[in-house]
Structure 1
Amino acid sequence: MFVVEVSRFGDAGVLVGTQRPDPAPTPGRVPVRVTAAVVNPVDVVTRAGLIPGLTPPFVLGWDFAGVTQDGTAVAGLVPWFAEAGATGTYADVVLADPAWLAPIPAGVDPAEAATLALNGLTAQQALALAALPAGTRLLITGASGGVGGFAVQLAVAAGLSVTAIASPGDESYVASLGAKEVLTRGTALQPSSFDAALDAASYGGVLHAVRDGGTCISVTDPSTPPSERDIRVAKVGVVPSSEGLAALLSELAAGRLVTRVADRLPLSSAAEAHRRAEEGGLRGKLALLP
């Protein structure tokens, strides 16, 4: 099979295409022929050597779409850190635990389906961790991005009153996701103006915008502040969920959940995709097609 591996830590040029033997089936794992893999920010920082405990070469990639041996179209999430880099989606074939997978409904584009696994499940599980009642005033940062965009849609569907922070030029798109109010990134936040916050963008000053006794959920360790004023602070750690992913895919198929694919590139152009991701300004995810 063809894979793109991190040959050593460094810039995008360290991503090298190479041939490896197809993975042999093992108990509890099934081969999935990949049809689309997604480039995420975590891939970029991992490639650069900012994640400890890894030794190249290894194959990047968390979320993907593909086809099983019996012809079932599936999307999936590789728990990449838990796998310690032993399994990645920048490849023709992924040896997957069935618990990572969910069937893709007929008519759903594989590249769009692939974008749901990491970012959609993170948003879904962050909101479950927050456990907010309907009507809660919720601030969501990074609403132009994958996690934040899905979080806005899921929170609105759950009856929350959402204020979202969008990148300049993306305000109309984020408003179309159902946010009650859309702020532009860089807007100063008023103190204690929200019941809760979901920080999907390491946005400075989020905690002071949450009322005493409120809730703040982050998606990365660096963006998780120490608690103050009896605010419950927690970080979501995404895990594969067949049931959760199936629910997201069903919503996508029904048109109740939207996603954005900025571009589709061949897997062999993974280095170019990383360069574009680092340049910023993308509207949606980059999909790699084997």
Structure 2
Amino acid sequence: MKALTYSTYGSADVLELTDLPTPHPGSDSVLVKVKAASINPVDYKAREGYLRRVLDTVFPAVPGWDVAGVVVRPGLDTPEFAAGDEVLAYARKDVISGGTLAEYVEVPVRTAARKPEGLSFEAAAALPLTGLTALQTVRRAGVSAGQTVLIHAAAGGVGSFAVQLAVLAGARVIGTASEPNHGYLRSLGAEPVAYGDGLVDAARALAPEGFDVILDFVGGDAMDMVPQLLREGGMVASITDPRARDTYGGQYVWVRPHSEQLAELAQLAAEGTLKVEIADVFELDHAAEAYRRLETGHVRGKLVVRV
């Protein structure tokens, strides 16, 4: 099969399209013919070696954890799925190796959900990692109706889903973003605040008594601002900075595969309740270029690779 691979840590220049053996499904996995995959910043951080203390890498490694496709061969004990089922998955495994930027991928059933009718393969592939990260952060922070929630990096891949999920929960949402993304945040139901000097004052002007919940999807200065913005008894959650847990008694979230939650997100997207923003679609033989674009840090929405 054709697959995007890398055989050493490094920049996007180490990526190449190669031929690999088609994988066999394990007893609790299914072999999926990939229709679309999406890419995420964690992919290139892994490729650059930053996850070596968290996950082992087996070379040649195929990047990618997000996938949508069709089951072609079930494993020995996978009653959840049959050949021909259309699925999506956050197909993260215990090692970095057989990823989703390939013609076929082995998918553990615990990571997969059925793709609803009416949801394109491209939109389905764009959903898993960022959608699950947003959902699990929103729920672990206890976001509920009537709360005032501040979301940092609200126009990003995770943040835009978190805005929508918090609004669906009945919260009032204020989101930080650059000026060009303020209209986009309003379309999702959030009140925008610009990054940079004056952010604390601008946010407190909108929420003078402080925020019930702060969700951090950017790190850096966001945690430094918590004492000035979080009301007494409030909750902070972060996917980037363990100070949310260790200093402020909140939540530090490392997203987990979760088939039931993924099915829930997919249904919301199929109904149009959850908007999936796709910035661009690339073919597999141009996937390295997709990573180069992602690494500029100036992409709103997901980059999808069609296989």
TM-score, with normalisation over the residues of structure 2? 0.87
One-letter code aligned to 2:304: A
| 1:29 is the counterpart of 2:29 | yes
Partner of 1:156: 167
Flag structure 1 segments of 5+ consecutive residues without an equivalent: none
- 1:213 paired residue number: 233
- 1:94-141 CA distance string (max 9 Å, x none): 111122111111121111111110001111111111113321111011
User: 1:226 Cα shift?
Assistant: 6.0
Match of 2:193 in 1: 183
Secondary structure class of the residue paired with 1:264:
strand
CA separation of 1:99 and 1:268: change in aligned 2, threshold 3 A? same
Select the residue among 244, 248, 267 that pairs with 2:265: 248
- The alignment status of 1:274 with 2:291, answered yes or no, reads yes
Which amino acid in structure 2 is aligned with residue 182 of structure 1?
P
SS in 1 for 2:273: coil
Q: Name the CA distance, whole Å, in 1 between partners of 2:243 and 2:288.
A: 31
- Inter-partner Cα distance in structure 2 for 1:168 and 1:84: 39
Deviations 1:9-48 (A, max 9, x none): 1111101111111112321111001111111011111111
Task: Provide TM-score, normalisation by structure 1.
Answer: 0.92
Q: Which amino acid aligns with 1:212?
A: E
The alignment partner of 1:21 has SS state of coil
Aligned to 1:259: 276
Partner AA of 1:193 in structure 2: G
Cα gap change, 1:92 to 1:286, in 2 (>3 Å): same
| CA contact 2:157–2:300 (8 Å) conserved in 1 | no
Note the C-alpha offset of 1:175: 0.8
C-alpha spacing 1:72/1:169, structure 2 compared with 1 (3 Å): same
CA distance in 2, matches of 1:237, 1:87: 21
The one-letter amino acid of 1:58's match is A
2:60 corresponds to which of 46, 57, 60: 57
Shift of 1:280: 2.6
Q: 1:8 — aligned with what?
A: 8
Moved over 6 A (4+): none
Residue of structure 2 in register with 1:20 after alignment: 20
CA distance in 1, matches of 2:178, 2:170: 24
- DSSP 3-state at the match of 2:105: strand
Looking at secondary structure, tell me which structure has more helix per residue: 2
Which SS does the other structure have where 2:130 is aligned? helix
Deviates more, 1:199-208 or 1:61-70: 199-208
- Paired residue for 1:166, among 153, 161, 177? 177
User: 1: CA distance between counterparts of 2:11 and 2:268?
Assistant: 37
Aligned to 2:200, what secondary structure does the other structure show? coil
For the 8 Å contact 2:63–2:97, the answer to whether it is kept is no
Q: How many residues align?
A: 284
Q: Deviations over 1:127-179 (max 9, x none)?
A: 11111332111101111111100000000100111111123301111111111
Q: Which residue of 1 aligns with 2:86?
A: 73
Q: 1:14 and 1:27 mapped to 2: Cα distance? A: 33
**Secondary structure in 2 matching 1:189:** helix
Q: List runs of 5+ in structure 2 lacking aligned partners.
A: 73-82
Cα distance change, pair 203–150 in 1 and its aligned pair in 2 (3 A): farther
Secondary structure (helix, strand or coil) at the match of 2:110 reads: helix
